[in-house]
């Protein structure tokens, strides 16, 4: 038989199985097998004073906001590393922007040299090394920084909204869910 100690709101704080535990606290309450299995499968149960009943934990706006901030961070990072467009060559070209690509672009832009640099011509879909002047590399770098800064700014704005929602006791899950990338 399974037993549970409960807190003041009826939520279990400890479980005991009489097949395993030789000492079970006197205040522990029996949990019928069906309720125990439901609890284990994520359908939480709480003691209402007479029976085990379905239980939903109270909404935690701070936790929900934190989870949403993590999703925003992931979406921002994915967009940052998905590539960006620059017209430094006179027409738009797409540049890769993984972390390694960003470092390579920084090095090329800071070198002060004309160098071949990989980009994709969206008109043809051809990805190739194209000779860039030093000024063009600096412009590509500036466009990449602007692109990344804009995304980081968007993420900061959204996370600020989530912080404000987390501090408001009237916030609901729907309010949190509405703040999306």
- State which residues of the chain have pLDDT below 70: none
Per-residue confidence (pLDDT) for residue 88, from 0 to 100: 98
Per-residue confidence (pLDDT) for residue 56, from 0 to 100: 76
Pairing of strands 2-6, 12-17: antiparallel
What the block records as the tokens of 72 is 């925003």
pLDDT one-digit tens code per residue, 80-126: 999 999 999 999 999 999 999 999 999 999 999 999 999 999 999 99
What are the distances in angstroms from CA 141 to CA 48, 55, 97, 157, 181? 63, 54, 11, 24, 25
Residue 75: CB atoms within 10 Å: 16
What the block records as the tokens of 120 is 């994709």
Per-residue confidence (pLDDT) for residue 145, from 0 to 100: 98
pLDDT one-digit tens code per residue, 115-126: 999 999 999 999
Per-residue confidence (pLDDT) for residue 46, from 0 to 100: 83
**For the chain, domain boundaries:** 2-54, 61-177
> What is the number of residues in the chain?
181
């Amino acid at each position: 038989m399974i037993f549970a100690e409960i807190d003041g709101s009826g939520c279990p704080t400890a479980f005991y199985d009489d097949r395993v535990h030789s000492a079970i606290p006197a205040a522990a309450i029996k949990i019928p097998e069906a309720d125990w299995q439901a609890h284990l499968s994520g359908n939480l149960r709480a003691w209402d004073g007479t029976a085990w009943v379905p239980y939903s934990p109270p909404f935690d706006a701070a936790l929900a906001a934190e989870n949403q901030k993590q999703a925003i961070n992931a979406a921002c990072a994915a967009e940052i590393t998905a590539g960006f467009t620059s017209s430094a060559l006179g027409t738009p070209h797409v540049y890769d922007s993984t972390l390694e690509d960003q470092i390579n672009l920084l090095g090329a832009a800071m070198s002060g040299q004309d160098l071949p640099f990989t980009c994709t011509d969206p008109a043809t879909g051809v990805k190739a090394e194209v000779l860039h002047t030093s000024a063009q590399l600096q412009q590509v770098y500036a466009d990449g920084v602007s692109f990344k800064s804009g995304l980081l700014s968007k993420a900061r704005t959204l996370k600020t909204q989530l912080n404000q929602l987390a501090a408001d006791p009237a916030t609901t899950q729907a309010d949190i869910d509405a703040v999306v990338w």
